[in-house]
């Protein structure tokens, strides 16, 4: 098990579109384990492989308070969206920034689990939001790209100032 480095926006590698996982082998299983460890350490609820500079379609999440409901999505695809809702989102790749994003209220996702078993999940509420947020990462999109250009520019400026200050 190893902690992975989480890419920070505006790192261009966050915009690379992830490729499908060809085979769920020990490398992918280790990646899943390391992603969970990294996500838990960072106090997140979801993490896409893109965020740790692995450009394959792998997502982990755990929305439980006890951190005992891990979910793995390999090669996930949203097959249905319904309704509309807004939610204040944050992101491990955009630390300290939160803003309201409009997304589908309910989604159906098809994916493989860590053992290669296909499953279908109907989700609503925070789980639906998290699925859409993480699958955006796999498509090379960060949540702030759902915001107005003005808000995006303000966030970029704030993050650049913060990065200079941290040096």
Query: Known binding site for Fe cation: residues?
Result: 91, 133, 137
Whole-number Å distance between alpha carbons of 90 and 92:
7
Beta bridge partners of residue 122, listed in sequence order: 108
- Residues forming the annotated binding site? 91, 133, 137
Give the residue from 58, 3, 48, 6 showing the smallest Cα distance to 27: 58
Length of the chain: 167
| Alpha-carbon torsion, ordered 116, 119, 123, 128, to 10 deg | 30
Exposure on the CB side of residue 60, measured as CA atoms within 13 A: 23
Tokens standing for residue 60: 């982990």
Please report, for residues 63, 121, 131, the alpha-carbon distance to residue 127 in angstroms, rounded to integers and kept in the order given: 7, 10, 6
Please report, for residues 48, 49, 92, 152, the alpha-carbon distance to residue 158 in angstroms, rounded to integers and kept in the order given: 24, 25, 16, 10
Catalytic residue positions, numbered: 134
């Amino acid at each position: 098990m190893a902690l992975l480095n989480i890419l920070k926006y505006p790192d261009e590698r966050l915009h690379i579109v992830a490729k499908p996982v060809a085979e769920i082998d020990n490398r992918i299983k280790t990646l899943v384990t390391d992603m969970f460890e990294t996500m838990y350490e960072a106090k997140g609820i979801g993490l896409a492989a893109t965020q740790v500079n692995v450009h394959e379609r792998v997502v982990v999440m755990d929305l439980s308070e006890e951190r005992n409901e891990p979910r793995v999505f390999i090669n996930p695809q949203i097959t249905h969206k319904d309704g509309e809702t807004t939610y204040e989102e944050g992101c491990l790749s955009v630390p300290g920034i939160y803003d309201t994003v409009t997304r589908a209220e309910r989604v159906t996702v098809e994916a493989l689990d860590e053992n290669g078993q296909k499953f279908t999940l109907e989700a609503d509420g925070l789980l639906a939001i998290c699925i859409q947020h993480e699958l955006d990462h796999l498509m090379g999109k960060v949540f702030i790209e759902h915001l107005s250009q003005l808000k995006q520019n303000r966030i970029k400026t704030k993050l650049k100032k913060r990065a200079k200050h941290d040096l």
